[in-house]
Amino acid sequence: MTATRLAEETKGSRLTERFRLIGGWVEKPDDLQPELVGDVSADVIVVGAGFAGLSTALELTALGAKVIVLEQEFAGFGASGRNAGYLAGSMGVEFEFFLKRVGHEQAKGIVKFYDEGVTYVERRLRELAIECDYNPSGLIRAAVHPSQEKRLRHSMELGAELGSVTRFLDSAELRARGIPPAFLFGCLQHGGTLDPGKYVMGLRRVALKTGVKLYEQTALLSYSEGPTITCKTARGTASAPFMVLATNAYTPQLGLLRDKVAPLRVSAIETEPLSKAQLASLGWAGREGVVTPHWTMESHRLTARDTLLVTTKQLGYAYGSQTPNQPDAAAYGALVQALDDRFPTLRGIAIRACWSGYISLAYDALPVVGATGPQQNILYTAGCSGHGVGTQSLVGYLLAERIGGIEHPLLAALRHKTPSTLPEPLQWCAIKGALMGANGMDRFVNRRVRGAASG
Ligand X SMILES: Cc1cc2nc3c(=O)[nH]c(=O)nc-3n(C[C@H](O)[C@H](O)[C@H](O)COP(=O)(O)OP(=O)(O)OC[C@H]3O[C@@H](n4cnc5c(N)ncnc54)[C@H](O)[C@@H]3O)c2cc1C
Query: Is residue 370 a contact residue for ligand X (CB under 6 A)?
Result: no
Binds ligand X by CB under 6 A, chosen from 392, 418, 427, 439: 392
Complex with ligand X: residue 239 or 281, whichever CB lies closer: 239
Query: Is residue 315 a contact residue for ligand X (CB under 6 A)?
Result: no
DSSP label at residue 134 = -
Please write down the HEC assignment for all residues of 159-214.
Answer: HHHCCCCCEEECHHHHHHHCCCCCCCCEEEECEEECCHHHHHHHHHHHHHHCCCEE
Binds ligand X by CB under 6 A, chosen from 51, 95, 98, 183: 51
Cα-Cα-Cα-Cα dihedral sign, residues 250, 254, 258, 260:
negative
Query: Is residue 384 a contact residue for ligand X (CB under 6 A)?
Result: yes
Binds ligand X by CB under 6 A, chosen from 12, 24, 53, 186: 53
Q: 67-70 and 44-47 as β-strands: parallel, antiparallel, unpaired?
A: parallel
Complex with ligand X: residue 84 or 274, whichever CB lies closer: 84
Bond before 324 cis per omega within 30 degrees:
no
Query: Is residue 386 a contact residue for ligand X (CB under 6 A)?
Result: yes
Work out the number of other CB atoms within 10 angstroms of the CB of residue 378. Answer: 20
Complex with ligand X: residue 221 or 280, whichever CB lies closer: 221
Binds ligand X by CB under 6 A, chosen from 36, 45, 65, 88: 88
Query: Is residue 187 a contact residue for ligand X (CB under 6 A)?
Result: no
Query: Is residue 77 a contact residue for ligand X (CB under 6 A)?
Result: yes
**Burial per residue of 44-67, b for 16 or more beta-carbon CB atoms within 10 angstroms, e otherwise:** bbbbbbbbbbbbbbbbbbeeebeb
Which string of x and - marks every residue 232-271 that binds ligand X (by CB under 6 A)? --------------xxxxx---x-----------x-x---
Which H or E run includes 440? helix 426-454
Query: Is residue 366 a contact residue for ligand X (CB under 6 A)?
Result: no
Query: Is residue 121 a contact residue for ligand X (CB under 6 A)?
Result: no
Phi, psi of 385, rounded to the nearest 5 degrees: 30, -120
Whether residue 395 contacts residue 52, with contact meaning beta carbons closer than 8 Å, is answered with: yes
Query: Is residue 78 a contact residue for ligand X (CB under 6 A)?
Result: yes
Q: Which residues bind ligand X (CB under 6 A)?
A: 47-53, 70-73, 77-80, 82-86, 88, 219-220, 246-250, 254, 266, 268, 311, 357, 359, 384, 386-390, 392
